[in-house]
C-alpha cells in the first residue's frame, strides 16, 4: 500500500520503521492481555483458539467475549482495503499517514478508558487499528512480514538462516538479519509493554501512542529524504 507516489525506501530505513511498528504490536498485545482479562487485540489466532476452548466447554458467556475483537479486526481490514479503492483514494490522498494518525488517536484515547470500563471498549478499538496497521504495512524491504504477530516473521527468519548456512546465499543472510531485528523489536515491545502496564496500568497505552508518533515522524522523514528534488504536492 502506498501513500501517493511512494519512492523506494532504503533498507535500513524500511527495517527501522518495521522494527518500531513491530515493537508497538508486541506492546499492544501485552497491554490488552494484562489489562483486559487475557484478550489479545493483535493476535487473533489466540482469540479464535480461546473461543474454541470456551465453546467446547459450554462457557458461552466467556466465548462471546472473544467475538468483538475478531469482528473489529475484520472491519479494520475492510477499511484498510477500502481506502485503496479509486473513489475513496480521491478523498483520502495520503492513506498511510491517515492510518498512523488514526492509530495514534485511538490508542491515546484508550489510555483514558478506566479499568472499570467494559473490556470490549478497549479490545474493539485496538483490534480495529491493529488490522489497519497489519494490512497497510506488510512489506519489509522486499519480503512480506507482519508488524502485529511474529509467527510468519519467525518462519521467514528461519528459512533465510537455512539458505544462508546451507546454500551460502548472502542475500538470505541480509533477510535473516532484517527479520531477526523485527522479531527482537516485537519481543522488546512486549517487555516494555509489561513493564509499562505495571507502572502505569491502563495509562500505559500512552507509551504506545508515543511510539507511533515516532513511527509517523520516521515515515515522513524517510519520505522527505528520498525525494530531495521533486516534491509531490500531496505529500
Please check whether residue 3 is in contact with residue 208, taking contact to mean a CB–CB distance below 8 angstroms. Answer: no
Can you tell me the distance from the alpha carbon of 20 to that of 56, in angstroms, rounded to the nearest whole number? 38
The CA–CA distances, whole Å, from 231 to 162, 222, 234 equal 42, 13, 8
What integer pLDDT is reported at residue 186 of this predicted model?
96
pLDDT digits (tens, 9 = 90+) for 166-189: 999 999 999 999 999 999 999 999
User: How do residues 193-219 score in pLDDT, each as one tens digit?
Assistant: 999 999 999 999 999 999 999 999 988
Write the pLDDT tens digit of every residue in 38-60: 877 787 888 899 899 999 999 98
From CA 98, how far away is CA 233, in angstroms rounded?
16
pLDDT surpassing 60 at residue 229: no
pLDDT at position 64: 86
pLDDT computed for residue 145 by the predictor: 92
pLDDT exceeds cutoff 60 at 4: no
pLDDT band at 226 (very low <50, low <70, confident <90, very high): low
Amino acid at each position: 500500500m502506498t501513500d501517493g507516489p511512494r519512492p523506494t525506501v532504503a533498507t535500513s530505513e524500511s527495517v527501522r520503521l518495521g522494527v518500531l511498528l513491530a515493537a508497538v504490536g508486541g506492546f499492544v498485545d501485552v497491554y490488552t492481555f494484562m489489562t483486559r482479562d487475557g484478550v489479545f487485540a493483535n493476535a487473533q489466532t489466540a482469540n479464535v483458539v480461546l473461543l474454541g476452548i470456551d465453546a467446547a466447554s459450554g462457557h458461552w458467556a466467556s466465548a462471546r467475549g472473544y467475538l468483538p475483537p475478531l469482528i473489529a479486526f475484520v472491519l479494520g481490514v475492510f477499511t484498510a482495503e477500502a481506502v485503496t479503492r479509486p473513489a475513496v483514494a480521491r478523498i483520502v490522498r495520503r492513506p498511510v499517514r491517515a492510518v498512523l494518525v488514526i492509530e495514534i488517536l485511538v490508542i491515546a484515547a484508550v489510555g483514558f478508558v478506566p479499568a472499570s470500563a467494559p473490556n470490549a471498549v478497549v479490545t474493539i478499538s485496538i483490534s480495529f487499528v491493529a488490522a489497519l496497521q497489519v494490512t497497510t504495512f506488510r512489506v519489509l524491504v522486499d519480503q512480506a512480514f507482519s508488524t502485529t504477530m511474529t509467527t510468519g516473521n519467525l518462519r521467514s527468519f528461519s528459512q533465510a538462516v537455512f539458505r544462508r548456512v546451507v546454500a551460502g546465499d548472502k542475500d538470505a543472510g541480509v533477510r535473516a538479519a532484517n527479520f531477526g531485528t523485527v522479531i527482537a523489536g516485537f519481543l522488546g515491545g512486549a517487555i516494555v509493554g509489561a513493564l509499562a502496564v505495571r507502572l502505569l496500568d491502563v495509562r500505559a497505552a500512552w507509551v504506545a501512542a508515543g511510539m507511533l508518533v515516532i513511527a509517523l515522524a520516521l515515515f515522513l522523514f524517510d519520505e522527505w529524504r528520498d525525494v530531495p528534488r521533486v516534491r509531490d504536492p500531496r505529500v
